[in-house]
Structure 1
Amino acid sequence: MELLTRARKAEIIKDVKEKFVKSQGVFVTSFKGFTVAESNEIRKLIREKGGEFRVIKNTLIRIASENTDFKPINDYIEGPTALVFAYQDPVEIAKVLNDFVKKHPSLQIKGFVIQGKGYKPEYIEDLVKLPPREVLLAQVLGTIQAPVSNFVGVLAAIIRNFLYVLKAIEEKKAKGE
């Protein structure tokens, strides 16, 4: 096993801290009995979804997570640990991990942190049921727009009805009544 120099450890800590800053979410995994082929496969799948799979020493993870939103990650670190950084949509990464774990039990999800809050592995099922981020944003926007468009519709109806009344008065006067 490679002995890390103090300078190399500092470099890794700085690198991991930067990854925390860039991440939307981080998943903690355990990989006992994990093969090289499985490792390569999961790395590729995660990279395709805008993430990164990285094996890092637990002590370095603990140091790097200090003073970040990902400090709760320390609750899930034990034994051989790999972090999965979700740089884009954490839901997409969760789906990849969840599917992979079902087929490859040598990889286990120990927990994850999203927006500074830690979650136990049981919650991954709830996370993967969420629609993609763009769909959620569209739903929120639709909810915000609904009252405004309803209000505009009501105003338009009032104006339209007023114009119908004016038109009726005009037609009545034109007939000489």
Structure 2
Amino acid sequence: MNKQEKGQLIEELSEKLSQTGHFYVADAGGLTVEQINAFRRLCFERGLEYKVVKNSLIEKALDRQEADFSKMYDSLKGFSGILFSPEVGNAPAKVIKEFRKKYKSEKPLFKAAAIDTDVFVGEENLNFLSELKSKTELLGEVIGLLQSPAKNVISALQSGGHKISGLVKALEERAQ
């Protein structure tokens, strides 16, 4: 790859990083071709994009971002691939865990992640990130909590209406 091609790749990667609010860096080195293909397929099915890129090019693309991703630089060693998640911040973590469970493998290793501008480095953050709720899930919970009191009031009114109508019917039958 010549200097011009590297520059173009850095530019494309930099643009992709700025457009995608969530990305993970993982090490899938040591997996068989069959396993890598299965991992890529799983990523595709979950709406993620997986690219293998040289660490130096990833670092240069991160340097071009407005946010400070310098905490990730130490994790850019060895084999690195980037998982891009356009909408859901926890999707790559869930895919990594699902793949490990299905193939009974310790790979791919989680190196680092950026969710919006927050940086998470190290394997110990994978469980936390996989349990992190997405914006849609949080909105659903808030809406559910807001609807709950209204549903209880409506339910009480409806059940009370049945009791009143039952009492009126009973009184009417007695009167006859």
Same fold (TM over 0.5): yes
Counterpart selection for 2:53 from 53, 56, 62: 56
Tell me how large the CA RMSD over aligned residues is. Answer: 2.3
Q: Mapping of 1:59-98 within 5 angstroms?
A: 59-68=56-65, 69=67, 71=69, 72-98=71-97
| Cα distance between partner residues in 2 of 1:23 and 1:121 | 22
Does structure 1 conserve the Cα–Cα contact (< 8 Å) formed by 2:52 and 2:82? yes
| Cα distance between partner residues in 2 of 1:117 and 1:90 | 11
Look at both structures and tell me which one has the larger radius of gyration over its CA atoms: 1
Q: Which SS does the other structure have where 1:90 is aligned? A: coil
Q: How many Å apart are 1:70 and its aligned residue?
A: 6.5
Does structure 2 conserve the Cα–Cα contact (< 8 Å) formed by 1:28 and 1:109? yes
Q: Mapping of 1:1-177 within 5 angstroms?
A: 4-68=1-65, 69=67, 71=69, 72-102=71-101, 103-119=104-120, 120-141=122-143
Q: Letter of the 1:66 partner, please give it.
A: D
Q: How many Å apart are 1:132 and its aligned residue?
A: 4.3
Q: Letter of the 1:24 partner, please give it.
A: G
Does structure 2 conserve the Cα–Cα contact (< 8 Å) formed by 1:70 and 1:113? no
Q: Letter of the 2:63 partner, please give it.
A: E
Does structure 1 conserve the Cα–Cα contact (< 8 Å) formed by 2:25 and 2:111? yes
Residue identity (%): 26
Structure 1 window deviating more from structure 2 (113-122 vs 134-143): it is 134-143
Instruction: Count how many residue pairs are aligned between Structure 1 and Structure 2.
Output: 145
Give the alignment's TM-score, normalised by structure 2. 0.72
| Cα distance between partner residues in 2 of 1:130 and 1:116 | 15
Name structure 1 gaps, 5 residues minimum. Answer: 154-177
Distance 1:123 1:100, change over 3 A: same
| Cα distance between partner residues in 2 of 1:89 and 1:133 | 8
